[in-house]
Amino acid sequence: MRAQPVASHFIDGRHVEDVAGATIEVVYPGTGEVIAVLHEATPPVVEMALASAVRAQRDWAALRPVERGRILNRAAALIRARGEELALLETFDTGKPIQETRVADWPSGADALEYFAGLAPTVTGETIPLGRDMVYTVRAPLGVCVGIGAWNYPSQIACWKSAPALALGNAMVFKPSEVTPLGALKLAEILVEAGLPPGLFNVVQGRGAVGAALVTDARVAKVSLTGSVPTGQKVYAAAAAGMRHVTMELGGKSPLIVFDDASLEDAVGAAMLANFYSSGQVCSNGTRVFVQRGLKERFLARLKARAERIVLGDPLQDETQMGPLVSAAQFDKVTGYIARARAEGARLVTGGGRGLGNAGWFVEPTVFADVTDGMEIAREEVFGPVMAVLDFATEDEAVARANATGFGLAAGVFTADLTRAHRVIGQIEAGTCWINAYNLTPVESPFGGTKLSGVGRENGHAAVEHYTQVKSIYLGLGPVEAPY
């Protein structure tokens, strides 16, 4: 087995195995080969993870934030020093091309560790003068947080959740997606090597039922999920029963609006990044590309030319720009959407077929034009390399149609007229927006969605609010005036 970890779980500073749990086969999407076999967490394993997190969190919260930050910075340095080894593991786990995993996945996780290591010591409260008396506030940790990951950015998701949680004095029990369970185990090892006390970052493997067991446990103060809307609805409801804090990073069907006056090359390049990076398996993708009529045919011609140059292939080769989809199930889902888009009358501009023979789950970069708002391809999240181009005439029309969706994760606008850019973005119902750029998600910037796409924000100062709670302390400085 090319990527067999020491054990399935990592709890209280050590590897833990319980072969009584159902098996999870880890498949390398490049070839379909099984590269590791893991076991789902049994109830005793879940119990061990939660109990050790509760034990560890109290002492951790009592440390100075700079001391916590020092450990996270050391972990970030280890990640950067092992960049190549970690990129390879991420490629095995996800099938994403090594040229992406070298620059995007673990490096952005290291950014998060560094950012929150530096930010945590700056988190302070208020003093509120009340004449003689006063109130002061502190931002207290929440306690034990549960992180549940999706399969598209497994290591980045593990880092984006654990970095603010740990920096701000919480413990985290993390359940990766059963499709990509390897990266989080590596993160747990690295954190302990960097000096993180045992129990503060525990990894348990499993499918939805293991996630559900974590979400409903009375010891859990917060749940942060990255996943689909239907899962988010279930997890949010389960968390609500215990009045737990939540962050929900869910799916989208985001608009990218391109006006006639936009730079053609930039807009085409951004539309490609917004649909083909990670084989289109990115939650914030701009999958509804609204192009103003005056630019439409030139846009499509340039897009077709550039899309057909994308190097699809073996994810382990340096020159490969696009790899396979993550699994057979995802391949079937995406090719089903393509077939139905054709049947509904969308015009296939390029792609649409299976790439590279029958090994692995490759889909060609695909562009549909003449897509209308009612078509399935314009309404549902495909999560594959499939771009829908819709055309529009006026600014007001573009805004109205862009907002006519239940999702609200992301949006972009391309235009040379910056006044218009701000005006349009100001009206778009989405949590994460770009002007003349797309899908850049630096850790300094808050990330998250509105409407069905989620609640809460990851990254930036905004994340502090989601891993701490305000505690106010009234300080009486005079005699107590009682009316009886």
| HSE of 462, CA atoms in CB hemisphere, 13 A | 17
- Residue 420 falls in which region: left (phi positive, over 0), alpha (psi -120 to 50) or beta: alpha
Interacting residues of 189 by C-beta distance below 8 A, sequence separation 6+ = 10
**Nearest distance from residue 477's CB to ligand NAD, in Å?**
46
Q: Which of 235, 272, 390, 402 binds ligand NAD (CB under 6 A)?
A: 235
Residue (303 or 334) nearer to ligand NAD, CB: 334
Annotated active-site residue in 145, 159, 283, 433: 283
Asked if 250 interacts with ligand NAD (CB under 6 A), we say: yes
- Largest Cα–Cα distance in the chain? 87
Q: Tokens 């969605």 identify what position?
A: 449
Is 431 among the residues that bind ligand NAD (CB under 6 A)?
no
Stretch that binds ligand NAD, among 58-66, 130-138, 211-219, 467-475 (CB under 6 A): 211-219
Q: Does 423 bind ligand NAD (CB under 6 A)?
A: no
Q: Which of residues 446-475 bind ligand NAD (CB under 6 A)?
A: 449, 454
The residue from 208, 242, 269, 460 that contacts ligand NAD (CB under 6 A) is 208
Which two tokens mark 425? 């973005």
Q: Is 465 exposed, middle or buried (0-12, 13-18, 19+ CB in 10 A)?
A: middle
231 binds ligand NAD (CB under 6 A): yes
Paired sense of beta strands 386-392 and 366-369, if any: parallel
**The only residue of 14, 15, 234, 420 in contact with ligand NAD, by rule CB under 6 A:** 234
If binding is defined by CB under 6 A, does position 156 make contact with ligand NAD?
no
Coil/strand/helix, residue 234: helix
158 part of the interface to ligand NAD, by CB under 6 A: no
Q: Measuring CA to CA, which residue among 188, 152, 176, 181 is closest to residue 224? A: 176
Contacting ligand NAD within 1-40 (CB under 6 A): none
Residue 370 and residue 348: Cα distance in Å, rounded?
9
User: Both tokens of residue 88?
Assistant: 């390879």
- Number of residues in contact with ligand NAD under rule CB under 6 A: 30
Q: How far is the CB of 147 from ligand NAD (least distance, A)?
A: 9
Q: Kindly name the residue from 114, 189, 249, 381 that is annotated as catalytic.
A: 249
Q: Which residues inside 278-337 make contact with ligand NAD, applying CB under 6 A?
A: 283
Q: Is 150 in the site for ligand NAD (CB under 6 A)?
A: yes
Taking the least distance from each CB to ligand NAD, the nearer of 207 and 423 is 207
Q: Which positions from 165 through 204 interact with ligand NAD, judged by CB under 6 A?
A: 175, 177-178
Contact 258, 289 (CB under 8 A): yes
With contacts defined by CB under 6 A, name the span among 60-68, 205-213, 257-265, 312-320 that binds ligand NAD. Answer: 205-213
- Output the CA–CA distances (angstroms, integers) from residue 471 to 130, 135, 300, 458, in the order listed: 17, 10, 55, 22
Please state, in angstroms and rounded to a whole number, the distance separating the CA atoms of residues 364 and 312: 7
Instruction: Supply the minimum distance, in Å, between the C-beta of residue 406 and ligand NAD.
Output: 13
Assess whether 304 carries a catalytic annotation.
no
- Estimate the crossing angle of helix 105-119 against helix 154-167, to 10 degrees: 10
Smallest gap from Cβ 442 to ligand NAD, in A, equals 14
Please identify, using beta-carbon distances, which residue of 415 and 459 lies nearer to ligand NAD. 459
Under the criterion CB under 6 A, does residue 224 sit at the interface with ligand NAD? Answer: no
Q: Is 149 in the site for ligand NAD (CB under 6 A)?
A: yes
Check the CA dihedral 342-346-349-354 and report its sign: negative
Instruction: List the one residue from 152, 155, 205, 335 that touches ligand NAD (CB under 6 A).
Output: 152
Nearer to ligand NAD, 220 or 409 (CB): 409
Helix or strand holding residue 297 (H, E):
helix 293-307
- As beta bridge partners, residue 70 has none
Nearer to ligand NAD, 160 or 259 (CB): 160
Give the separation between CA 255 and CA 263, rounded to whole angstroms: 18
Q: Specify the 3-state DSSP secondary structure of 353.
A: coil
In the block, which residue shows the tokens 């490629």? 91
- Choose between 268 and 334: whose C-beta lies nearer to ligand NAD: 334
Dihedral pair phi/psi, residue 459, rounded to 5°: 70, 170
Judged by beta carbon, residue 73 or residue 330, the one nearer ligand NAD is 330
Residue 283: active-site member: yes
Hey, which residues does 52 pair with through a beta bridge? none
β-bridge mates for residue 117, sequence order: none
User: Looking at 41, 98, 363, 409, which residue binds ligand NAD (CB under 6 A)?
Assistant: 409
Strand order through the sheet with 144-148: 14-16, 9-11, 201-203, 171-175, 144-148, 220-226, 245-249, 454-455
Based on the shown chain and the rule CB under 6 A, indicate whether residue 379 belongs to the binding site for ligand NAD. no
Residue nearest to ligand NAD (CB): 211
The yes or no reply on residue 251 touching ligand NAD (CB under 6 A) is yes
Q: Which is nearer to ligand NAD, 231 or 335 (CB)?
A: 231
Residue in 211, 255, 315, 323 binding ligand NAD, rule: CB under 6 A: 211
Q: What does the alpha-carbon distance between residue 456 and residue 245 come to, in Å, rounded to a whole number?
A: 10
Residues annotated catalytic, as ranges: 161, 249, 283, 458
* Residues at the contact surface with ligand NAD, assessed by CB under 6 A: 148-153, 175, 177-178, 207-208, 211-212, 215, 226-228, 231, 234-235, 249-252, 283, 381, 383, 409, 449, 454
